């Protein structure tokens, strides 16, 4: 009984310590600097690369993505060198991170033509350029606090395990943007294509194809404006701008 009585305060102290650490981590997540977000993006992207099969440089997917993106003339964005690769995953998805990491899934490439692939990448890059991607990374990082992860609050990614970093990346990919953010990213993609005098029609046909898939279990569609509405918005801009 005496041993049990002694154990209780110790257990309570451990619980309080874990709670305090999680609370501190949540505060840290909300105040991540831009440099820390880039560092987390770099490490989480690398962790996801290790756990997913990437199209080899000489493969048809890698060569096609490189050829599709070349006209965009984006050797870098957000001040970071562009690093675009293809995940050999059948899902229809793509993402961009603040460190220049762009990953396009093979399932999306199988569905889209090159104009549409450029439109998708322009959209994902648009989220980064417009500052939309910081909040999802903060949210993903704060979920480590909810899990009670033992992370030193003074040193972000350096103390996260590879598993934690991979989970962080997955949570980032699954993050939901607001409808206004999605529309703004669509317009950003339109502007990128227009600047390089590339076809903007790919944005329209992209959403027409996505409309046929809506209702399927794809994180790409979560909280997005309806695809027909997005297609109409872009078509109206094309009609106006000529």
Condensed to tens digits (0 to 9), the pLDDT of residues 117-149 reads 999 999 999 999 999 999 988 888 887 656 655
98-107, 174-183, 191-200: which range is least confident on average? 174-183
Predicted confidence at residue 21, as pLDDT, reads: 52
Q: What is the pLDDT averaged over residues 173-193?
A: 93
CB of 90 closer than 8 Å to CB of 216: no
Residue 44 is given by DSSP the state: H
Residue at token pair 């297609």:
231
Domain residue spans of the chain: 2-176
**The predicted structure's pLDDT at residue 152:** 45
Angstrom distances, CA of residue 185 to CA of 14, 45, 230? 45, 21, 11
- What pLDDT is recorded for position 10? 44
Amino acid 126: pLDDT = 95
pLDDT band for position 235 (cuts 50, 70, 90) = very high
From the candidates 36, 116, 124, 182, give the one annotated as an active-site residue.
Answer: 124
User: Is residue 154 scored above 50 in pLDDT?
Assistant: no
CA 79/CA 237 separation, integer angstroms: 29
* CA distance linking residue 91 with residue 219, whole number of Å: 9
* Residue labelled with tokens 């096609």: 64
Residue 214 catalytic?
no
Please name the residue that has the structure tokens 């009984």. 1
For the whole model, what pTM was predicted?
A: 0.82
pLDDT in tens, 35-84: 999 999 999 999 999 999 999 999 999 999 999 999 998 877 878 889 99
d(CA 105, CA 123): 15
Q: Is there a contact between 226 and 181 (Cβ–Cβ < 8 Å)?
A: no
The candidate with the shortest Cα–Cα distance to 82, out of 69, 92, 93, is 69
Residue 156, pLDDT score: 52
């Amino acid at each position: 009984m005496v041993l049990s009585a002694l154990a209780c305060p110790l257990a309570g102290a451990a619980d309080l310590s874990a709670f305090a650490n999680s609370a501190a981590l949540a505060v840290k997540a909300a105040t991540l600097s831009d440099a820390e977000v880039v560092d987390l993006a770099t490490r989480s992207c690398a962790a996801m690369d290790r756990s997913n099969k990437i199209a080899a440089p000489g493969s048809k997917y890698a060569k096609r993505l490189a050829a599709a993106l070349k006209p965009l003339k984006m050797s870098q964005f957000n001040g970071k060198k562009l690093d675009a690769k293809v995940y050999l995953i059948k899902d229809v998805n793509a993402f961009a991170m603040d460190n220049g990491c762009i990953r396009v899934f093979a399932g999306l490439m199988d569905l889209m033509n090159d104009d549409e692939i450029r439109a998708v990448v322009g959209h994902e890059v648009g989220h980064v350029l417009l500052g939309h991607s910081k909040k999802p990374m903060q949210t993903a990082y704060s979920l480590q606090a909810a899990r009670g992860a033992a992370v030193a609050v003074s040193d972000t990614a350096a103390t996260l395990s590879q598993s934690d970093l991979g989970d962080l990346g997955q949570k980032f990919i699954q993050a939901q943007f607001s409808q206004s953010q999605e529309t703004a990213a669509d317009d950003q993609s339109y502007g990128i294509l227009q600047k390089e005098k590339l076809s903007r029609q790919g944005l329209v046909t992209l959403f027409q194809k996505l409309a046929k898939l809506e209702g399927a279990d794809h994180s790409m569609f979560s909280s997005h404006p309806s695809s027909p509405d997005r297609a109409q918005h872009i078509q109206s801009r094309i009609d106006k701008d000529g």
